[in-house]
Amino acid sequence: MRKPIAEVIESGTRSFVAEVYREAEPPAFGAWVRVPGGAAVLYAVVSHVEIGSVEPNRRAVAFGKTPDELRREMPQVLELLRTTFRAQVVAYRPEGGPLRQTLPPQPADIHAFVAPCPADEVKALGAPFDYLRTLVRHPDPSVPVDDLLVALLGQIYTAHGGPHGGEQALLAAGRVLSRLMDDDHERLQSVLRRVVV
Amino acid sequence: MLDLRRLQEQFADFGAYQVREEQRMRSRLEDALAALKDCHPVWEDLRERARTARPGWLVAGLREPPGAAHPASPRPTPVTVVAADGSQIFPDRHVQPTCYLLNISRIAFQYGTLERPIMEAVPDFRYHREEVQEAMDDLEDLLDQQATSEVVSALRDERELEALLDTAQRARVPGRPLVALADGTLIRWMLRRMQNRTLEEKLIERYAALLERFRAECIPLCSYISMPGNTEVVNLLRLFREEDVRPPDPEASLEGLPDRRLFEQVLRPGERSAVFESASHIQRDYAPGSRICYFYVHVPATRTGAAEIGRVEVPHWLAEDPALLDLVHAVVLSECEKGDGYPMILSEAHERAVVRAREKALFYELIERQMNAAGLPFGGSRKAASKRRPML
C-alpha cells in the first residue's frame, strides 16, 4: 500500500480534514484518498486544499524575499506553514465486505493515516457511480461542485486507462451526471468540456 | 469597567504636562551632551573616579572613551544564532492545589543554510510540596519556602539560561560562528526583591555558575533589551559634573535622563557605543570573567517603526574580544532588521514560550479533570469563581 501523505485532524462521517506531512506531496483537488480504519477503509474525494499558518493568531505577511532567501534567513516562516485538505467521504469498504458507495457508519479516526488511492481502487469506484449523486445533490457549500466534478472525471478517465478504455468510464459517469443534473445540458456540457482527456 | 467620561477629565492637562517634561528632558540632554564632550580628553581620570567614588547611584565603568561610536561589520554567513525564552503560570493563591508551570522555548537558526531550525517549547509542571525545595537542591533550611511568584520567576530565568546553553551546544557546528541571544538583562536585579537572603544568594550563585559554563564552552552570550531605562552612563556624567560632591539644584541635575536619550544623539544608525562595565552589586558573586558589560546600539528605523536605542549585555570575557563584539553587534543588527526593529529570533522564542489565556484556562481544566478522576475536590476560591461569573 502507498505511504501515507497526511493525517486526519478533524473528522465526521461526511468529511474530514487532514494535515499533509511536511515531506509529502499534497494531494490534487479532486483526487481520491483512502483512510484505513479498524472496521473499514474509507474512500474520499479531496474537495479543498489550503496552505496556512500553523498558529491561528499568526498571519502570513509579505516579506519581499524569494523562497530561498526565506529559507536561509527567516527559517521559521516556512516552518510555520502547513498544508491541510478537506475530503468528502463518499464510499467505504467494510472489513472483508464489498465496496459501498455511501457514507460510512463511523467517521475516520482522528490521527488516522491518509494515503492516495492506487489506480485499481479508483477503478473499483466505478459504475453505478452512486457517489456522484451524493456530491451533486449534497455538495459542500464552500466548494464549486462542478469544478470538483471536472477534476474527479479526469481521475476516473486516467484510472480506467486513459486513451485505452478511459472513454467508456467517462461516458458511463457522464450518463449518471446527465440524469442528476435533470438534463441541464448546458451545465453538463460545461463540466465535460473541461475534463482534460 | 473603565468610566471613559471620568477618565477624559483627567486627560485635560496630560498633553501640556508631557510637553513641559520633554522640554526639561531636552535641556538635560544638552547638558549631558556637553559633559560627554568635555570629559573625552580626561576620560581615564573619570574612569578612576568611577572606580572609587560612592555616589549612591550606579555608575558605568569605563573601558574606552564614553562617547566612542563603532560602525557595524557585516554579519558572517553562515552563522548559528540561538535563543531561549520562558513563561509561566504562577501559583495562584485562589486555586487549590498549589502548582505552577514553566514553559521554556528553544530556538536555533542556521542562517545562510537550508538546515532545519530547532523550534520547540518544553512545559515543566510542578506540584510536589517539595518541588520548590527540590529545585533549590540542598537548601534544607528553606523547607518551608513557598512557591512564590518571585521564586518561580527566578527559576524561569535560570531555566531560560540553561536552555540557551543547551541549545547552543546542540546547534553548534564546528567552524561556524555562533551567538546565543537571551531576552532582557543578565543582571539579576529582581532577586533583590525576594527578601530572603539565603535563597537570593543561592539563586545568584547558580546563575553565576551557568554564566561561567558559557565561558568554559566559549559560547558567545549576549542579551538584548529594548527601550532600556538604565541611567548608568548619564550617572557617570553626573559624576564628571561632580553632582555627588556639590548636589545641584534638582532642575539642573542630569538625574532622570535615560542613557538611551543620550545615545540617540551620539550614535548613527547601526553604530554601537563604547562598552561599559556594570557596577551592579548583585553581580559581586559573578566570577570576574562573567561580570556584565554592555553597549548601546542604534537600531535603524524600519518600514513600520521609528529608530530605537537598544542595550546589549555581554559577559566580561566577551567584551575583551573585539572580534566577538563585532560578531554580536552584527548579529543583533541583522536580527533587528529582519524582526522589524526587534530581534526576530527573540520574537520567535517568545511566541513559542508564551502561554495564552485560552491555554491557561485549559491547564486549569486539565487539573480539575485529574482531581475529579482521583475523586478529590478541586478548590478554587469563591473570589476566583465570582470573577468568572459576574452576576446581574
Residue B376 lies inside a defined structural domain of this protein = no
Single-letter amino acid code for the residue at A140:
D
**Number of structural domains in chain B:** 1
- Separation CA B285–CA B191 (nearest Å): 13
Residue B242 lies inside a defined structural domain of this protein = yes
Mark yes or no for CB contact B114/A72 under 8 Å.
yes
Asked if residue A153 lies in contact with residue A191, where contact means CB atoms within 8 angstroms, the answer is yes
Average pLDDT over residues B112-119: 96
Q: Give the pLDDT confidence score for residue B151 in this predicted structure.
A: 80
- Separation CA B87–CA B153 (nearest Å): 9
Mark yes or no for CB contact B109/A75 under 8 Å.
yes
List the 82-111 stretch of B: residues with Cβ below 8 A of A.
Answer: 107, 109-111
Q: Report chain B's mean pLDDT, rounded to a whole number.
A: 90
In the predicted model, is pLDDT for residue B74 greater than 90?
yes
For A53-78, letters b (16+ CB in 10 Å) and e give eeeeeeeeeeeeeeeeeebbbbbbbe
Asked if residue B271 lies in contact with residue B307, where contact means CB atoms within 8 angstroms, the answer is no
Residue B156 lies inside a defined structural domain of this protein = yes
Residue B9 lies inside a defined structural domain of this protein = no
Residue B371 lies inside a defined structural domain of this protein = no
Among B110, B116, B106, CA closest to B175: B110
Q: Choose, out of B79, B105, B106, B111, the residue to mutate when testing the contact with A (most A CBs < 10 Å).
A: B111
Q: Give the pLDDT confidence score for residue B132 in this predicted structure.
A: 52
Taking contacts as CB-CB distances below 8 angstroms, the residues of chain B near A75 are 109-111, 116-117
Residue B385 lies inside a defined structural domain of this protein = no
Average pLDDT over residues B303-327: 96
Q: Give the pLDDT confidence score for residue B140 in this predicted structure.
A: 40
ipTM (interface predicted TM): 0.80
Residue A160 phi, psi (nearest 5): -90, 20
- Separation CA B224–CA B216 (nearest Å): 22
Report if pTM > 0.90: no
Among B248, B268, B111, B243, CA closest to B177: B111
- Separation CA B23–CA B293 (nearest Å): 32
Taking contacts as CB-CB distances below 8 angstroms, the residues of chain A near B120 are none
The 10s digit of each residue's pLDDT in A28-64 is: 999 999 999 888 999 999 999 999 998 878 888 888 9
Residue B31 lies inside a defined structural domain of this protein = yes
Residue B391 lies inside a defined structural domain of this protein = no
Q: Give the pLDDT confidence score for residue B137 in this predicted structure.
A: 46
Asked if residue A68 lies in contact with residue A102, where contact means CB atoms within 8 angstroms, the answer is no
Which residue of chain B is at minimal alpha-carbon distance from A71?
Answer: B114
Model confidence band, residue B141 (pLDDT cutoffs 50, 70, 90): very low
Q: Give the pLDDT confidence score for residue B195 in this predicted structure.
A: 66
What domain range includes position B247?
A: 22-355
The 10s digit of each residue's pLDDT in B22-63 is: 999 999 999 999 999 999 999 999 999 999 988 889 999 999
